Chain A
Amino acid sequence: SQTIHQWPATLVQPVGSPLSLECTVEGTSNPNLYWYRQAAGRGLQLLFYSVGIGQISSEVPQNLSASRPQDRQFILSSKKLLLSDSGFYLCAWSPHGDSPLHFGNGTRLTVT
């Protein structure tokens, strides 16, 4: 069966520090991969999605970036965190674009 791993579960980082959140999927190949951010009262905001290795689509201009160095690995990064980057970050995968998403357990990021 397929599983998705996302870590760390919680993270507290100072403003201006770098960020790296990692997500991996097991039990499937060539999944679509997604990064969402959830802020209180704002639902889920799609940040990035990827349909293959090295293929990244950005939905919202910001100081975050994403990379997909391997088929089942998706990384969310920032060179310098802002206070506004605080939130709950969710990684998800699907076998193809119209399938339901399968979510990781999320990372609670607090920028201080």
Chain B
Amino acid sequence: AQSVTQLDSQVPVFEEAPVELRCNYSSSVSVYLFWYVQYPNQGLQLLLKYLSGSTLVKGINGFEAEFNKSQTSFHLRKPSVHISDTAEYFCAVSGGYQKVTFGTGTKLQVIP
């Protein structure tokens, strides 16, 4: 079985400040990890993915995430946020078997 934990349901941050959204996972097999972003009343868009190789993954809109196998984490970071980054962010894990498990999401609120 696999699971994803996003401990922070909401993260307020001032514009141009850095942000980190936390994600921890558990899985009995090797995993693939993803971050998605959801704007209001829309579907989810892929931000970045970790399949293998370098543990530091760069995605769209200036976001990056680091895979830490020993801590089973895949935290999302951005050095300077913009108002347009206000959205809900979902961490997800796939351990094969055709299934993707999502976390409960973190709402990022960028304050002007």
Partner-B contacts on A (CB < 8 A): 6, 32, 34, 36, 41-44, 46, 49, 51, 57, 59, 90, 92, 94, 97-98, 100-106, 108
Interface size class of B (residues with CB under 8 A): 20 to 34
- Bound form: Cα–Cα A59–B98 in Å: 12
Q: Are A46 and B100 in contact (CB under 8 A)?
A: yes
Q: SS class of chain A's interface: helix, strand, loop or mixed?
A: strand
Q: Are A43 and B90 in contact (CB under 8 A)?
A: yes
Q: Of B12-20, B38-46, B78-86, which binds chain A? A: B38-46
Shortest CB-to-CB span from A22 to chain B, Å, is 15
- Bound form: Cα–Cα A92–B104 in Å: 18
A to B CB contacts below 8 Å, 12 in the list:
A34-B100, A41-B9, A43-B6, A44-B102, A46-B102, A49-B99, A90-B44, A94-B100, A98-B32, A100-B34, A103-B45, A108-B41
A-B pairs with CB below 8 Å: how many?
A: 61
Residues of A within 8 A of B104 (CB): 41-43
Give which listed residue, B43, B92, B97, contacts A97 with CB less than 8 A: B97
Shortest CB-to-CB span from A101 to chain B, Å, is 6
Shortest CB-to-CB span from B52 to chain A, Å, is 10
CB closest residue in chain B, given A44: B102
Per-residue A-contact encoding for B35-61, CB less than 8 Å = 1, 0 else? 010000111111001010000000000
Report if B26 contacts A (CB, 8 A): no
Give which listed residue, B32, B42, B51, contacts A105 with CB less than 8 A: B42
Residues of A within 8 A of B45 (CB): 103
Q: Are A105 and B43 in contact (CB under 8 A)?
A: yes
